[in-house]
Amino acid sequence: MSVKFAVLGHGVVGSGVVELFYKNKKSIEKRAGVEMDIKYILDLRDFPDSPYADKFTKNFDDILNDDEVISVAECMGGVEPAFTFVKACLEKGKSVSTSNKELVAEKGDILLKTAKEHNCNFFFEASVGGAIPIIRPLHRCLAANDITKVAGILNGTTNFILTKMYNDNMPFDEALKLAQELGYAEKDPTADIEGHDACRKICIISSLVFGKHVYPKSVYTKGIKDIQLCDVEASDVLGYAIKLVASVTKLENGKILPCVMPTLVSYDNIMSGVNDVFNAVLVYGDGIDQTMFYGRGAGKLPTASAVLGDVIEAVKHKVTVLSQSWESSSDDSFVSKISEFKSRWYFRVPSGSAINGVEVYNSDYGMSFITSEELTFTQAEAKAKEFGALACLPVLE
C-alpha cells in the first residue's frame, strides 16, 4: 500500500515540503510505517523545469475528487482560498496539515470541528513556531499540567532587528532594511513590526491551552517600531533585553489575558539570550514550573519540517486526535481587557526630568528608569502621562 498526499502552494514553504520529502523519503516512510508519495502540487504558476513538473495541477478539484489522496499539506497562506480548500478537503475525510497561522487564528475552530465530524485531522504544528515543536507538547506532553502562562518570542524578523540594535548599535530603520535585504522581512513588513504575526500565533496557543477560540481582534497588540537606541542602551545597563513578547496568562478570576508588546526580559531569564531569527516559547505549569522550547521559527526547510511532521501524524492516525482542539466562542467575555495587565514598567523620560526612580540611568539621550512598583496597564499609562514619558514598556517576570 502506498499513501498519496498533495501539496497546496509551491512558494517558499510548499517547495520546501516537496524538497524535504524527497530528500528524506525513506526515513519519512519508515516513521510513517507506509510507503508515501506526493501525487499533486497545486499552483497557478508553471514550473516546466521542476523535476516534479508532472505532478503540478492548477485545478483544485483534481485533488479533492481523487480518493487516493488521503492527506493534504496546505502552504498557500492567507485566509482565502485556503479556508475554502481546506474545509472541502476535511469534508471529504482528507486530513490537512498547515503552516498558515492566519488561517488557524481566524478559522481554526471551524476547521477543527469539521475534521472531527468527518473523522480526520486538522494539524497546524508549523503555524506557530516553524521548526519548534510546541503545539503537540502543549496538548500531549504537558497535558497533566495546569498551564498558567505561556510567553514567547514568536517572530524572527523583529527579534533579528532588535538583536542588530543591541549588538551593532544599529538604528531601527537600518536594521529593518538589512532584514529585508537578507530575506527575513517582507517588502511590506507591517505584519512583523506591528506585531500582527506574533498576535496570530499567541491566539493559536491561547485557544489550544485554554479551550476556546481567541480571535486576533481580542488581543492587545503593539509592535517594535517605536523602540529606539536609547531604550536599548538603558535596558542593557539595567540588566534587561528588549524582546517582542507574545504572552497569555490565566488570571485569578478565571479569564485569560493574551497580549503582544515589546517587553524587558531580565538577563537572568534564558529567553533574553534568544537572538537573531530564532524563536523561543516559555510554558509555565504547576507540574513543570517552567520549560522552554527553542529553535528556528521560520524559513523554508524548518517550516517544511514541521508540516511534514504533521503529514506523517495524519497518515498514522486513522481517527481524529481530540486533544488538539478547542471550542468556538460567540463572544470574547472570557478574555480580559489589557487594562488588567499587571507588571513592573520601564519609562523613558525627557532629559532633566525630576523623577525619583528606583533604578535610574542617565544617558546621552535622556533619563531612563524602571519602577519597583507593579502597576496595571491603566496605572502605567497614568504614570507615563504624569512623568511626561516618551516610552512605557512592561517587564517580563
- According to the 3-state scheme, what is the secondary structure of 293-332? EEEECCCHHHHHHHHHHHHHHHHHCCCCCCCCCCECCCCC
Residue 323: is its pLDDT beyond 90? no
The answer to whether 174 and 292 have CB atoms below 8 angstroms apart is: no
Residue 164: is its pLDDT beyond 90? yes
Residue 95: is its pLDDT beyond 80? yes
Is 30 a residue of the active site?
no
The answer to whether 72 and 94 have CB atoms below 8 angstroms apart is: yes
Return the CATH superfamily for domain 139-296: Dihydrodipicolinate Reductase; domain 2 (3.30.360.10)
Delimiting residues of CATH 3.30.360.10 domain(s) in the chain: 139-296
Residue 343: is its pLDDT beyond 70? yes
List, for residues 166-198, the tens digit of each pLDDT value.
999 999 999 999 999 988 888 999 999 999 999
Model pLDDT, residue 356: 63
* Cβ partners under 8 Å of residue 354, min gap 6: none
Model pLDDT, residue 299: 82
CATH number for the region 2-131+300-316 comes to 3.40.50.720
Model pLDDT, residue 253: 93
CA dihedral 34, 39, 41, 45 (to 10 degrees): 160
Biggest distance spanned by C-alpha atoms of the chain = 77
Phi and psi angles of residue 205, each rounded to the nearest 5 degrees, phi first: -60, -45
- The pLDDT of 134-146, averaged and rounded, is 92
Model pLDDT, residue 387: 83
Residue 358: is its pLDDT beyond 70? no
Cis peptide before 81 (omega within 30 of 0): yes
Model pLDDT, residue 355: 67
Delimiting residues of CATH 3.40.50.720 domain(s) in the chain: 2-131+300-316
Set 201, 243, 250, 300: catalytic member:
201
Residue 239: is its pLDDT beyond 70? yes
Which one-letter amino acid corresponds to residue 311? V
CA atoms of 75 and 241, how far apart (whole Å): 34
CA atoms of 215 and 190, how far apart (whole Å): 19
The residue that leads in pLDDT, 131 or 78, is: 78
CA atoms of 186 and 209, how far apart (whole Å): 30
Q: Please state whether beta strands 278-285 and 220-221 pair in parallel, antiparallel, or not at all (unpaired).
A: unpaired
Residue 350: is its pLDDT beyond 90? no
